[in-house]
Structure 1
Amino acid sequence: MSAQFLNQATTIILQIGLVPVLLYAWGKQSYGVWLLLSAVPTYLTFSDFGFTLIAKNEMLMQVAGGRREEALRTFHSVFALLNLVMPCLIGLSVLLICSVDLSHALNLGEYANGDARAVLILLLLNVVSYQYFLLICGGVRCENRLAMEASWGALSRLAEGLAVAGSALLGGGLVAAAAAALITKLLGSVGLYLWLRKASPWLSLGHAKSSAAEIKRLLKPALAFMLMPISQSMLIQAPLMIIGVLIGPAAVVTFATTRTLARTGTAITNLLNGTVQGEYSIAFGRANQAMLHKVLRYHQRAGLAAIIAFSVPLYLFRDPLMRLYTHGQVSAVDPFFLMVILTVAAEMMWSSIATPLSSINRHVTFANLSLLISLAGIGLCYVFTLHFGLNGAAAAMLTVHGAILVLSQGLRHAIRLPHPSLTAREAHSA
């Protein structure tokens, strides 16, 4: 929990701290361009088809069951897959970026096409390096070093944020900031891997144990696992792009800063989710139904209390908080602000149900349906924004997250073992 606190504190510091720094260094227009360009490569975060994400839980359950050889096979197989997919992804993406008029397509105003392409390519490489970082994190996690994984991830992100802020304050533009972020990410990945080699000599990156059969076995849960962050990323980034195209960069800043302030509350539920995630996996791997339900019960109660404790004061003190947060450049206006808070509260609630589902690989139905809801929500956001502006965008997001919350509550029954008589390995396979 201490490591998760550090992780979430880092997230809040970056979310809140970078906004005024970058607004001061670049101005509202350039910062809006940065937000738009940063939104594009986010969709490539899942270019590994979910394998690095599923490998983290998979390796934890394998090692907990005394199956190190299987964990190493998973580690090598996913590494081989990344080495096959990522060069192709980079080549195709660079080709696409260089062939599109970005200033027109993303409504970037007078920002130069060449600079926009350079920023996107650097951010793309950052996303690719992050896939390898996640896989290395799987190696750290598999021997139940969840605290180390969370701490290193937090410090790596903090260093990356400081690199961006420092570059901007020293007079660097968007290209320099993207380059600073990439270099920091690479250094963090290399550092973590060197630590892993000392802590767990049996775990090394390579292809010797890789297996096509292992990739095939992991394919279905990996694809389903991928859909959940894809859905969430769509709901975070798509409204920014829609607002940018329909209204302009200034409106993007208003929406983004308001939502960022409201979403600081997700740090609380993320802290809780991250703390108990490994417990769900271990309980399921050991076929311990009582432990599974006990963790779930306390998790849900703590999550509900956190939502109330955060949302009510935020709404009551919205005006001074927004003035302080944006130096008076963005105001808290209802009903827009209220709808954003309610949207975040719904997201916090459904994420506490999605955590145990994904931790025990019972997430397929939730992932499929939440993706469909998210896709419909993007269309709804476009229509509502076109007719009602920022209030319409907020209303659309509230509707979508409310629907996902209803879906998650309907799937609570899936958080259970297949049969109490099964062994840990049989339960996991089932």
Structure 2
Amino acid sequence: MPILSGVAANSYNQVVTAVIQLASLPFFLHYWGAERYGRWLMIAAIPAYFQMSDVGLSAVAMTKTCIAWARGDIDAAKVTFRSALLGVTLFALAGMLLTALGCVVFSPAGKEGGGALVLLIAGALLSTYSSLYDACFRIIDRYAYGTFIQSSIRLGEWAAGLAALAFGANFFGVALAMFVTRLICQTALTLYAHRLVPQLGISFTGASLTEIRELLPLGFAYLGFTLGSALSVQGLTLLVGNVLGARALVVFSTYRTLSRTVTQLINVVGHSIWPRFSMLYGLGQTAVAERLRVRTEQALIAASVLCLTGIALAGRSIIAFWGRGGLSYEPQVLLPLLGATALTAVYQVKLIALIATNRHIGVSLRFCIVSALALVMARVLVPTLGIAAPIAAVVGIELAMVVVVNIAFAAANEPSRANEPLASR
């Protein structure tokens, strides 16, 4: 039941993501046009980097808090949770300070765009608390409910921005509507999390700098996934927009978003089995965990191939309907991106198994390096190959990750390694 409820909650989360991605295009094109919408995409891509401001503390602290709670060590869980809360807050304040200094030094062109950027960054910094608060729901076996609440906050934030857009707001007005909504919802979530698990408490009392230092290595390792994703997604978005222009960016972003709708399915499964993997490995039930991994991987690959084939066959109709006739059908863009998504399904379950057991350090570093190299190569080749360069970068990243994850998973599951206690890794 926990896995099924997690699948349902994560399915809702991915539906929210898909709605935001798919519905944004026709609305923004209608009110702003392709050129202005392309500029907005470039502005909105930057705050994703500030979501890394907690340097992975939230995710690793959440896992450690849940393990300590499950073992009955409430005091250790409280120290970890409150220490991470302090660390996330300090990093968020540093992020806002850097934003303020950046605006003073670089003076972003246009008050409208600069103000919108600041508000979007502030909203991104607020969202860094979400992973940490997720621990409050997981430890009382209400993971699905917590996922539902946080997904609904994202949906409300987007809807507020869309409403401002419909009323004629500019960049700043849309960003302001989104930030105010995020601030109100995040405040309510903080109060609710405190009430839900008073034993942990939303407080800095008892926080330990030593605990923060112990969490940082794993946090930095986890950050590699976030940074690598930012380089491969937002980095390529900025590259296309700056080098090929706003119209080319709309094409690239639209087709990549379409291909990544299946990635949402992959993420649903991955996030749903994450807590189960942690529990099974923590209890030493590695054989049960391996059976779960194999069955999940087989089902996920089959479902992904089926969905991707359907999109490939219906691609022309989808683009015609979605773009309202404003975009041409370009199979040379769509098909390679669909192939990249298929490669994601091949390694994703193994990757989740590594992350859920804190054996992800080497993989995250390699993902970050691969993403950075792909971005550099795309920049070098884009004047010659045009939009084919970033498309090749996307495919190249996924091919490299298939190799990296399979090698890391095989090494982590060698008998000498598999029998080591998790705390020693």
TM-score (norm 1): 0.93
Letter in 2 for 1:244: G
> 1:102 Cα shift?
4.0
Contact 1:284–1:428 at 8 Å: present in 2 too?
no
2:138 to 136, 141, 147: 141
| 2:380 equivalent to 1:374 | no
> 1:213 Cα shift?
1.5
| 2:179 equivalent to 1:182 | yes
1:62 to 64, 68, 91: 68
Letter in 2 for 1:25: Y
Aligned to 1:78: 84
SS in 1 for 2:55: coil
> 1:275 Cα shift?
1.1
> 1:421 Cα shift?
6.8
> 1:418 Cα shift?
6.7
Letter in 2 for 1:171: G
SS in 2 for 1:371: helix
Identity rate, percent: 22
Moved over 3 A (4+): 414-422
Relative to structure 1, is the Cα distance of residues 420 and 54 closer, same or farther in structure 2, using a 3 angstrom cutoff?
closer
CA distance in 2, matches of 1:97, 1:347: 38
2:390 to 389, 393, 398: 393
| 2:297 equivalent to 1:300 | yes
Aligned to 1:360: 357
CA distance in 1, matches of 2:369, 2:232: 12
Q: Deviations over 1:31-85 (max 9, x none)?
A: 1111000111211111111101111222122212222211111111011112322
Aligned to 1:348: 345
> 1:118 Cα shift?
0.2
Contact 1:287–1:427 at 8 Å: present in 2 too?
no
SS in 2 for 1:361: coil
| 2:150 equivalent to 1:165 | no
1:49 to 55, 79, 92: 55
CA RMSD of aligned residues (A): 1.8
| 2:41 equivalent to 1:7 | no
Aligned to 1:110: none
CA distance in 1, matches of 2:220, 2:31: 40
CA distance in 1, matches of 2:135, 2:32: 37
Unpaired stretches in structure 2, ≥5 consecutive residues: 1-6
CA distance in 2, matches of 1:11, 1:179: 20
Relative to structure 1, is the Cα distance of residues 420 and 414 closer, same or farther in structure 2, using a 3 angstrom cutoff?
closer
| 2:226 equivalent to 1:229 | yes
Number of residues of Structure 1 aligned to a counterpart in Structure 2: 418
SS in 1 for 2:72: coil
CA distance in 2, matches of 1:20, 1:28: 10
Aligned to 1:98: 104
Relative to structure 1, is the Cα distance of residues 97 and 354 closer, same or farther in structure 2, using a 3 angstrom cutoff?
farther
Aligned to 1:129: 126
Letter in 1 for 2:69: V
1:317 to 306, 314, 322: 314
1:219-298 to 2 correspondences below 5 Å: 219-298=216-295
SS in 2 for 1:314: helix
Q: Which moved more, 1:332-341 or 1:116-125?
A: 332-341
Contact 1:54–1:222 at 8 Å: present in 2 too?
yes
Contact 1:418–1:427 at 8 Å: present in 2 too?
no
CA distance in 2, matches of 1:380, 1:30: 28
> 1:250 Cα shift?
1.0
| 2:419 equivalent to 1:413 | no
SS in 1 for 2:386: helix
CA distance in 2, matches of 1:303, 1:92: 41
> 1:144 Cα shift?
2.9
Aligned to 2:4: none
Contact 1:311–1:341 at 8 Å: present in 2 too?
yes
Contact 2:10–2:144 at 8 Å: present in 1 too?
yes
Q: Deviations over 1:204-235 (max 9, x none)?
A: 11122211221121121111011112101210
Letter in 2 for 1:245: N
> 1:352 Cα shift?
2.5
Q: Which moved more, 1:168-177 or 1:130-139?
A: 130-139
Unpaired stretches in structure 1, ≥5 consecutive residues: 104-112
